[in-house]
């Protein structure tokens, strides 16, 4: 048996490692993504002041600090038995839209986009944001930078700091908005709406009008018919900041709907000896190995999961795009892993439109932004991180210190699906032992679509090679090492 | 001449936070109107934003390396990194960010960017606030090397 190892993964680094096992014919037998999980969070949190959790957890992950910040804050609302004033909820949600704006722009143009905009067959050294700018033009590059910065600025105005917000408190937020800030945000949001529309048009022109790309999107190796999960409002429209967890089946019909507090009743976690990360599945369906279809409890979260799990977007233009998405890709559910990229841009448009609704809301300048807390107890909080459903669960002592803390992060929810997508993509592109750099990229594209966060937000500067491929013969002797720089 | 000294790292991930430990130590030794001492827990694009407008930037950070000793401290010119990734799965590397900024006509990128790297074989994946023995011992070395780097351009009277 041959073993192919992709380590570490370019562009989506963390410390992920892909191992592909070939059979005697040189075809793919199986593939595994290994992710070392950050350890010791529960012990680390124990005995700390509960109100510090929004700050501490926003440092867990350099990728989704705002999502952790508010999942933590909402868990504290519940643990202190307090409902924040409606103005505070709107301020939080507005800030959350700023986070989605910069996060989704970053992923599309810098990380996932290069595969399409520059092309999946382009040489690796061109498949990055520089390549995107060369193809799309310097003027568009400037627009990308500008609007990503707007998202960050909106977050910073509301959160105190762009990357690690300090505004979330149990029962509300620490800071309101004044009229000048409202004016600034309004101007930025207007511009972001146009940029989101432009991005969807760019996707249309470059990807959807290109038959080769559409063929790849619709090709078998990139299809996965799992269940889908996401937060929805009372009208079953997608919501990122708050709502009820909804799960739909392969036809887009509702399978489950539950409050975050019932999460443990519906979700179980499978442990595999080769992985640190757990594989959640729906209890009602059960674990059926790494398979998709109706009999497998594996589900997907994130942009595609959310669009499949809801019945539309709550804003006008985004909802039009939502309808076009399903019309173009053959109705519900859309199972193409690469459709995550398109779904992400539709969500970008929704985030900008929702931000406009919120900034124009007369209550947004209200100074009633906090309610007094009750007695400390236990609470769970859920948000949609840019890459999927995120849950924080705390148990407090009677003095308001952390007794127990547990987090279920987005990428964990997607772990079963990511693993299958890698395997299927590998099966589709590696035949007869032929493993070129281009085929490896096709495998990477499969999981890059999920925008996974490997929970490892260390910011060290690795000096090693960004991509290393090791090929072993059937006796596990190293035959060849391929190295690739970006 | 304006210099930024930036400690990069995550204080709740043990040795990963070493850059911030070094900058905190430097704060007790340096007070100069043309030297800013900052800390950051970020990479790529966000890191670049912090550097803009300075003539020189000194970044103190953990560097993962297979062929260096744990706790060794090295001065590395950013131009000598042929590849560098912010170890953040959702961002581009600082080098990519700089290249892109240049392409877009950004003229506030520091002329000189120096990394004071604290070498480690493995970046920790366990929560905690303390440095391991080898890495704690590297802090004074990194402080010294950073001071030397600053004094090439600005004399610090202390």
pLDDT of residue A37: 65
Best to test chain A binding among B90, B94, B107, B120 (most A CBs inside 10 Å): B90
Indicate whether A480 pLDDT > 70: no
In terms of C-beta density within 10 A (0-12 exposed, 13-18 middle, 19 or more buried), how is residue A306 classed? buried
pLDDT of residue A484: 40
- Residue numbers in A near B135 (CB within 8 A): none
| A464 in Cβ contact with B65 (< 8 Å) | yes
Is the Cβ pair B64, A41 closer than 8 Å? Answer: no
CA atoms within 13 A on the CB side of B91: 32
B120 sits in which H/E element: strand B112-120
* Minimum CA–CA partner of A61 in chain B: B88
Sign of the alpha-carbon dihedral angle for B127, B132, B136, B138: negative
Specify the DSSP class assigned to residue A36.
P
A292 sits in which H/E element: none
Distance from CA of A386 to the nearest CA of B (A): 11
- Look at A298 and A133; give whichever has higher pLDDT: A298
Indicate whether A273 pLDDT > 70: yes
Q: Give A478's pLDDT tier (boundaries 50, 70, 90).
A: low
| A314 in Cβ contact with A237 (< 8 Å) | yes
- Residue numbers in A near B93 (CB within 8 A): 486
pLDDT, mean over chain A: 87
A408 sits in which H/E element: strand A402-408
Backbone phi, psi, residue B149, to 5° = -65, -40
* Minimum CA–CA partner of A451 in chain B: B90
* Minimum CA–CA partner of B76 in chain A: A463
Indicate whether A12 pLDDT > 50: no
Maximum mean pLDDT: which of B40-44, B73-77, B124-128, B148-152: B148-152
Residue by residue, DSSP assigns A164-190 as S---EETTEES----HHHHHHHHHHHH
Q: Measuring CA to CA, which residue among A279, A281, A254 is closest to residue A266?
A: A281
Restricting to B residues 25-44, those with a Cβ less than 8 Å away from any Cβ of A are 40-43
pLDDT of residue A457: 31
pLDDT, mean over chain B: 87
For A402-429, what is each residue's pLDDT tens digit?
Answer: 999 988 888 889 989 999 998 898 888 8
Residue ranges of domains in chain B: 3-151
Mean pLDDT of B114-123: 86
Cis, bond preceding A294 (omega within 30 deg of 0): no
Q: Measuring CA to CA, which residue among A281, A285, A321 is closest to residue A417?
A: A281
A:B CB pairs within 8 Å: 168
Indicate whether B82 pLDDT > 60: no
pLDDT of residue A8: 41
Q: Measuring CA to CA, which residue among A125, A1, A4, A10 is closest to residue A435?
A: A4
Backbone phi, psi, residue A485, to 5° = -100, 155
pLDDT of residue A5: 55
- Look at A63 and A224; give whichever has higher pLDDT: A224
User: Under 8 Å CB-to-CB from A249, ≥6 apart: which residues?
Assistant: A227, A255, A294, A333
Is the Cβ pair A466, B89 closer than 8 Å? Answer: no
For A433-454, what is each residue's pLDDT tens digit?
Answer: 777 766 677 777 888 888 876 5
- Residue numbers in A near B60 (CB within 8 A): none
Domain B3-151 in CATH 3.90.420.10? The answer is: no
pLDDT of residue A407: 87
pLDDT of residue A15: 47
Q: Measuring CA to CA, which residue among A193, A209, A437 is closest to residue A317?
A: A193
User: B34-43 burial, b if ≥16 CB within 10 A, otherwise e?
Assistant: ebbbebbbbb
pLDDT of residue A10: 38
| Nearest residue, CB atoms, B90 vs list A129, A451, A460 | A451
Tokens representing A484? Answer: 């690739």
Is the Cβ pair B81, A463 closer than 8 Å? Answer: yes
Is the Cβ pair A486, B83 closer than 8 Å? Answer: yes
CB atoms within 10 A of CB B107: 7
How far apart, in whole angstroms, are the C-alpha atoms of residue A373 and residue A304?
A: 37
Indicate whether B85 pLDDT > 80: no
| ipTM exceeds 0.90, yes or no | no
Q: Give A4's pLDDT tier (boundaries 50, 70, 90).
A: low
* Minimum CA–CA partner of B19 in chain A: A460
Report helix, strand or coil for A163. Answer: coil
pLDDT of residue A339: 96
Maximum mean pLDDT: which of A4-8, A63-67, A217-221, A333-337: A333-337
Residue by residue, DSSP assigns A189-247 as HHHHHHHHHHHHHHHIIIIIT-HHHHHHHHSGGGB---EEEEEE-TTS-B-SSS-EEEE
- Residue numbers in A near B115 (CB within 8 A): 461
| Nearest residue, CB atoms, A62 vs list B43, B82, B103 | B43
In terms of C-beta density within 10 A (0-12 exposed, 13-18 middle, 19 or more buried), how is residue B3 classed? buried
Is the Cβ pair A133, B100 closer than 8 Å? Answer: yes
- Look at A276 and B19; give whichever has higher pLDDT: B19
pLDDT of residue A465: 26
Q: Give A477's pLDDT tier (boundaries 50, 70, 90).
A: low
Is the Cβ pair A458, B87 closer than 8 Å? Answer: yes
Percent of the residues in chain A that have a pLDDT greater than 90, as a whole number: 63
pLDDT of residue A289: 96
Q: ∠B14-B17-B18 over CA atoms, to 5°?
A: 105
Strand partners, A168: A173
For A74-108, what is each residue's pLDDT tens digit?
Answer: 999 999 999 999 999 999 999 999 999 999 998 89
- Look at B22 and A425; give whichever has higher pLDDT: B22
Is the Cβ pair B90, A107 closer than 8 Å? Answer: yes
- Look at A14 and A303; give whichever has higher pLDDT: A303
- Residue numbers in B near A56 (CB within 8 A): 12
Is the Cβ pair A460, B99 closer than 8 Å? Answer: no
- Look at A462 and A177; give whichever has higher pLDDT: A177
- Look at B127 and A237; give whichever has higher pLDDT: A237
From the centroid of its chain, how far is CA A85? 28
pLDDT of residue A149: 93
Distance from CA of A302 to the nearest CA of B (A): 14
Q: Tell me how far apart the terminal alpha carbons of chain A are, to the nearest angstrom.
A: 29
| A187 in Cβ contact with A147 (< 8 Å) | no
Restricting to B residues 49-78, those with a Cβ less than 8 Å away from any Cβ of A are 49, 61-66, 68
Sign of the alpha-carbon dihedral angle for A150, A207, A449, A440: negative
Distance from CA of A202 to the nearest CA of B (A): 19
pLDDT of residue A420: 95
| A51 in Cβ contact with A69 (< 8 Å) | no
How far apart, in whole angstroms, are the C-alpha atoms of residue B67 and residue B121?
A: 8
Residue ranges of domains in chain A: 2-34+414-484
Indicate whether A220 pLDDT > 50: yes
Mean pLDDT of A302-313: 98
Mean pLDDT of A44-60: 92
Mean pLDDT of A291-303: 98
Q: Give A251's pLDDT tier (boundaries 50, 70, 90).
A: very high
- Look at A235 and A60; give whichever has higher pLDDT: A235
pLDDT of residue A17: 67
| Nearest residue, CB atoms, A133 vs list B42, B103, B125 | B103
Torsion angle of the four alpha carbons A280, A282, A287, A288, in this order, in degrees rounded to the nearest 10: -110
| Nearest residue, CB atoms, B88 vs list A39, A62, A141 | A62
Best to test chain B binding among A463, A466, A485 (most B CBs inside 10 Å): A463
Restricting to B residues 87-126, those with a Cβ less than 8 Å away from any Cβ of A are 87-94, 96, 99-100, 103-105, 115, 117, 120, 123-126
CA distances from A379 to A45, A77, A360, A407 (A): 15, 7, 32, 12
Is the Cβ pair A461, B86 closer than 8 Å? Answer: yes
Mean pLDDT of A283-310: 98
Q: Measuring CA to CA, which residue among B84, B62, B58 is closest to residue A458?
A: B62
Distance from CA of B128 to the nearest CA of A (A): 6
pLDDT of residue A386: 94
Indicate whether B90 pLDDT > 70: no
How far apart, in whole angstroms, are the C-alpha atoms of residue A195 and residue A261?
A: 37
């Amino acid at each position: 048996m041959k073993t192919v190892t992709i380590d570490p993964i370019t562009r989506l680094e963390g410390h992920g490692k892909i191992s592909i096992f070939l059979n005697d014919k040189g075809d793919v037998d199986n593939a595994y993504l290994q992710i070392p999980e950050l350890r010791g969070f529960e012990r680390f949190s124990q005995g700390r002041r509960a109100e510090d959790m929004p700050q501490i957890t926003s440092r867990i992950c350099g990728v989704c600090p705002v999502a952790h910040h508010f999942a933590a804050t909402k868990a504290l609302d519940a643990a202190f038995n307090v409902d924040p004033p409606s103005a505070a909820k709107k301020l939080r949600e507005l800030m959350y839209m700023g986070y989605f704006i910069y996060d989704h722009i970053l992923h599309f143009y810098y990380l996932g986009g290069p595969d399409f905009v520059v092309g999946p067959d382009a040489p690796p050294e061109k498949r990055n944001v520089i390549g995107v700018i060369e193809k799309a033009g310097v003027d568009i590059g400037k627009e990308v930078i500008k609007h990503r910065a707007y998202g960050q600025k909106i977050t910073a105005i509301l959160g105190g700091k762009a990357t690690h917000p300090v505004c979330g408190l149990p029962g509300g937020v620490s800071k309101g908005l004044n009229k000048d800030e409202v004016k600034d945000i309004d101007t930025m949001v207007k511009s972001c709406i146009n940029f989101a529309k432009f991005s969807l048009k760019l996707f249309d022109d470059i990807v959807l009008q290109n038959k080769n790309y559409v063929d790849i999107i619709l090709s078998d190796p990139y299809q996965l018919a799992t269940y889908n999960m996401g937060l929805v409002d009372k009208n079953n429209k997608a919501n990122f900041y708050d709502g009820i967890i909804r799960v739909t089946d392969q036809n887009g019909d509702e399978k489950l709907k539950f409050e975050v507090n019932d999460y443990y009743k519906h979700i179980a976690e499978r442990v595999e000896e080769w992985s640190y990360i757990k594989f959640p599945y729906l209890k009602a369906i059960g674990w059926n190995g790494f398979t998709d279809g109706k009999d497998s409890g594996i589900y997907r979260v994130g942009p595609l999961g959310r669009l499949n799990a809801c019945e539309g977007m709550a804003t006008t233009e985004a909802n039009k795009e939502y309808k076009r998405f399903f019309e173009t890709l053959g109705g519900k559910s859309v199972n193409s892993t690469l459709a995550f990229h398109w779904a992400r841009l539709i969500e970008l448009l929704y985030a900008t439109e929702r931000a406009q609704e919120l900034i124009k809301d007369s209550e947004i300048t209200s100074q009633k932004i906090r309610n007094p807390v009750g007695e400390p107890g236990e609470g769970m909080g859920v948000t949609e991180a840019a890459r999927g459903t995120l849950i924080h669960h705390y148990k407090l002592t009677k003095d308001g210190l952390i007794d127990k803390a547990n987090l279920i992060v987005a990428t964990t929810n997607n772990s079963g699906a990511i693993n299958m997508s890698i395997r299927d993509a590998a099966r589709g592109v590696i035949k007869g032992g032929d493993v070129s750099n281009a085929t490896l990229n096709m495998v990477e594209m499969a999981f890059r679509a999920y925008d996974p966060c490997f929970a490892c937000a260390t910011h060290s500067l690795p000096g090693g090679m960004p991509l290393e491929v090791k090929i072993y013969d059937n006796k596990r002797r190293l035959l060849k090492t391929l190295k690739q720089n970006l | 001449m304006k210099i930024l000294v930036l400690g990069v790292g995550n204080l709740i991930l043990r040795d990963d936070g070493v850059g911030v430990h070094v900058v905190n130590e430097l704060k007790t030794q340096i007070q100069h109107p043309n030297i800013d001492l900052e800390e950051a827990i970020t990479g790529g694009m966000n890191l670049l934003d912090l550097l803009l407008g300075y003539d020189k930037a000194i970044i103190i950070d953990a560097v993962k390396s297979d062929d260096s000793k744990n706790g060794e401290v090295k001065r590395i010119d950013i131009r000598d990194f042929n590849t560098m990734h912010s170890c953040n799965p959702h961002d581009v590397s600082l080098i990519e960010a700089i290249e892109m900024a240049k392409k877009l006509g950004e003229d506030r990128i520091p002329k000189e960017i120096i990394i004071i790297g604290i070498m480690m074989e493995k970046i920790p994946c366990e929560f905690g606030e303390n440095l391991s023995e080898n890495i704690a011992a590297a802090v004074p070395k990194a402080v010294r090397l950073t001071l030397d780097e600053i004094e090439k351009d600005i004399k610090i009277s202390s």
